[in-house]
Amino acid sequence: MFLDEAVITVRSGSGGNGSVSFRREKYIPRGGPDGGDGGRGGSVIFRADRNLGTLLDLSRKASYRAGDGRPGGGNNRAGRNAPDLIVTVPVGTVVREALPDGPAREGPLLGDLLGDGQELVVARGGKGGRGNKAFATPTRQAPREAEEGRAGEERKLYLELKLIADVGLVGLPNAGKSTLLSRLSRATPKIADYPFTTLTPNLGIAEVGDYRRIVIADIPGLIEGAHTGHGLGIEFLRHIERTSTIVHLVSVEAGSPERMAADYRTVEGELEAYGEALASKPRIVAATKLDTLSHEDGASLVRGFAEALGCPVLGISAATGQGLPDLLASAVRLLDATRAI
């Protein structure tokens, strides 16, 4: 099961109390204070792990708590520090502090875990209290006070997973995104002839030449009104934010250049309504499912679609492989040009 949102509570450990103690040994009448400091409480730390692909495990546990530091002891013995609690999360996890009132996703940003092994301290452990040894001065040689350890932090967090990919495949339901992903990579998304076959984003790695690999994300089908919650799109538009480029797929099954242009503008409208970051991403437009038409009809439809949009359009067929090498080559060139800016 894919899950890309979770709300959890984390609490770091409290510091141990300092000790009040005096050295009492035979033949040492003025031993003085020897109370040790308390140990530090454990912190709660998120660590990104590229082997994880969902927040499902975190959602099953409502709270995470680190241990408390141990109190100090006599003979200047410091309390033991509590170990930090390491919580693994998928690469691409955005961490926000959940608002007590209002939508959790609008809380202040605490961190964005983009690299494998990257860590983020979400609740810092409390400092241990000082023992009475720390309060001794030349004029105050027998202090009978010590500090209590500082309390740990407690936070309610909103976690959001945004997939990281080089290329994001977008289009209306049944535009051929899943089939294309399965042909370009070893991914095995569910494929069927009804809308919303893809209920979760899928990732695949396409090999270009001997040394180049690009990560491709199949984003579930968008419909008009997706950015306001219609269909499935609002749940997955966030994943397009991480992609460097977009390949917009439009099926020739629409039947005419005008209908294809209308389908294209429906999806582009949703991307623009979601935010400028999506609307401004570099993109490639591809007309899919050319295998359903004759060569002449398909070529004519692609030309008419390109004229209606006023931009180049690649004609492809995931079923036969037509145009796929050109599509990959174009994606690589666009990626390189984007990263060079």
> pLDDT digit string (tens) for 252-288?
998 899 999 999 998 888 788 877 777 788 999 999 9
Last residue of a domain, one of 161, 188, 208: 161
> For the chain, how many structural domains are there in total?
2
Q: For residue 324, count other CB atoms closer than 10 A to its CB.
A: 18
The CATH code of the domain that includes 46 is 2.70.210.12
What does the block give as tokens for 192? Answer: 């069927």
Domain holding 287, by residue range, is 167-340
Last residue of a domain, one of 161, 179, 206: 161
pTM: 0.67
Check whether 107 has a pLDDT greater than 90. no
Please check whether residues 75 and 139 belong to one and the same domain: yes
Please check whether residues 212 and 274 belong to one and the same domain: yes
Sheet with 119-123: strands ordered across = 85-90, 44-49, 119-123
Last residue of a domain, one of 126, 161, 196: 161
Please check whether residues 189 and 276 belong to one and the same domain: yes
Please check whether residues 78 and 180 belong to one and the same domain: no
Please check whether residues 126 and 186 belong to one and the same domain: no
Please check whether residues 133 and 174 belong to one and the same domain: no
Per-residue pLDDT of 63-104, as tens digits, reads 999 999 999 999 899 999 999 999 999 888 999 998 877 777
Please check whether residues 157 and 77 belong to one and the same domain: yes
Give me the chain's average pLDDT, please.
84
Average pLDDT over residues 166-179: 85
Please check whether residues 204 and 238 belong to one and the same domain: yes
Please check whether residues 311 and 254 belong to one and the same domain: yes
Please check whether residues 119 and 219 belong to one and the same domain: no
Please check whether residues 87 and 114 belong to one and the same domain: yes
The CATH code of the domain that includes 276 is 3.40.50.300
- What is the 3 state secondary structure string of the chain? CCCCEEEEEEECCCCCCCCCCECCECCECCCCECCCCCCCCCCEEEEEECCCCCCHHHHCCCEEECCCCCCCECCCECCCCCCCEEEEEECCEEEEECCCCCCHHHCCEEEEECCCCCEEEEECCCCCCCCHHHHCECCECCCCCCCCCCCCCEEEEEEEECCCCCEEEECCCCCCHHHHHHHHCCCCCCCCCCCCCCCCCEEEEEEECCCEEEEEEECCCCCCCHHHCCCCHHHHHHHHCCCCEEEEEEEHHHCCHHHHHHHHHHHHHHHHHHCHHHHCCCEEEEEECHHHCCHHHHHHHHHHHHHHHCCCCEECCCCCCCCHHHHHHHHHHHHHHHHHC
